[in-house]
Structure 1
Amino acid sequence: MPIFTIRHVTTYHYKDPVGFGEHRMMLRPRDDDDQRVLEAELKVTPAPSEISWTRDSFGNHVAIAHFAERASELRVESTIRLDHAPGEFRAADIEDFAQTHPFAYAEEDRHSLACFLTPLSQHPKLDRWAATFLRKDGSADTGELLFDMTQTIRRTFKHVARHEKGIQDPVRTLELASGSCRDLAVLMIAALRSLGIAARFVSGYLHLGDDDDEEDAGGNTHAWVQVYVPGPGWVDLDPSSGMVGNENLVRVAVAHEPREAIPLQGTWIGTASDHLAMKVAVRVTAAPDACDGRGARTGTGG
């Protein structure tokens, strides 16, 4: 099991000292069964006058910072060490009643899944595209449907860096056959929900290993999809890479839609011309677990 070290630095530069309003940070990974934070450190310069931690309705860690000082630079540096357990999705683990789509979720699951079944986009083009993964009678093997959709997006859509704010409409992504990892994730979520399958947006980090390095290095912020499958539960699907399962993926936040999982957002007080630049640097390194047992470590919270 690898140990990931994630360093994420965001720096805002201003021409003159400006004031800072409330800043909301979602940088600490989730406490899930397959990933466990060992150490977490958050450094903010200038130092906040107050910083508090809470969890949102999805169980994501959120830090809220308030500031008294003005400054010409705001720097947020998050360093995480995390124990990660890669896991696979096997179609054989799906409950018998859900092996074939369409299926109905169990009564006890419907309430908690309701917001993840709410349509993101309702458009005939989207419905027609989602239907291409079904047989003529409207059925499909559930496992095959999820694998096929993930890999089809990877194979037939161009993954591009898009720096504009916001998310591309799923129909626009279909028309362009391209989008950022966020856009491709939203397209897949919209298509799955149109088929009655619970899906949610995930933001976090992707580790990009280098086989030539003794200690793998490389990575970036990333977005993908989780689908609720009776039996396995929440399953990670990455349409940008075509991968199924959580290998090399570190979850920071899950949400109904992307605007609920922004890593860092806040306000500043000054003139429009004061803002000069924003720089983001992410590095994800992986090393093998040197401990004999998972229980041998102790971690510190951020």
Structure 2
Amino acid sequence: MTDPTTSQSLEGRTIVMSGGSRGIGLAILLAAARQGANAVILAKTDEPDPRLPGTVHTAVDEIVEAGGKAVAVVGDVRVEEDVERAAATAVETFGGIDIVINNASALNTKGTADVTPKRFDLMQSINSRGTFLLTRACLPHLKNSTDAQIVTLSPPINLDPKWLGEFPPYMLSKYGMSLLTLGWAAEFAGDGIRANCLWPQTTIATAAVVNLLGGEEAASKARSVEIMGDAAVALLTDPARPTGQTLIDEDALAAVGITDLSPYGGGDDPALDFFVEKR
């Protein structure tokens, strides 16, 4: 894949990410590792799952092989003590925290009547609350960074009734992530902390797409995870230093001159992701 080239660099910068054992999160960390970034990965995947590839430990191995440094923290983004331990590990190992990436997320596309209260609570606690917990734990250290950033993998706030009514429980949890991030851009502007959301224009060929959203046929119309990895690095290193935005991967790449998206697959008419409209 094309490595985004900008005037900024991730060399020696430290990222704390929730999730990241596989999929989009790992693609982002690998793209950052190629620029020499450090990573602390907070994830529950201590042991292999026969249904899904990779653990937090294999993710660390891949990041190191790609040129970065990484540490695994086995824990749950819903547990305050685990989140605090991830932040402390970053400071102890790498001397600080420059970037928080809120990646962990639970997906459930059922309607209101079919989502149990337990499942509703799970989505809110991982998505919105987990985003809050991780960012809050890292906040004192972000304030000491020379270029602190928060990136949340959440969508633009699309108030079209189609998206408001499609699956309200999931919508609430993802919009909560976006609203928190936009709020932090305003709240911490004076501290030099930038905060943005990043979301794919199309579906991405992850295990979730294959297992939950249509199998191999759906995956054939999805772009590869590398597009989100490259888009995240483009955003993190963009010399324009954006903040307070909900960005689509295509736009983040276009900002650094990458407009040919054919290497990322998905065919001539890739499937749109949730909450976005055809361009």
The TM-score range, normalised by the shorter chain, is under 0.3
Give the TM-score, by structure 1 length: 0.26
| More helix by percentage | 2
TM-score (norm 2): 0.27
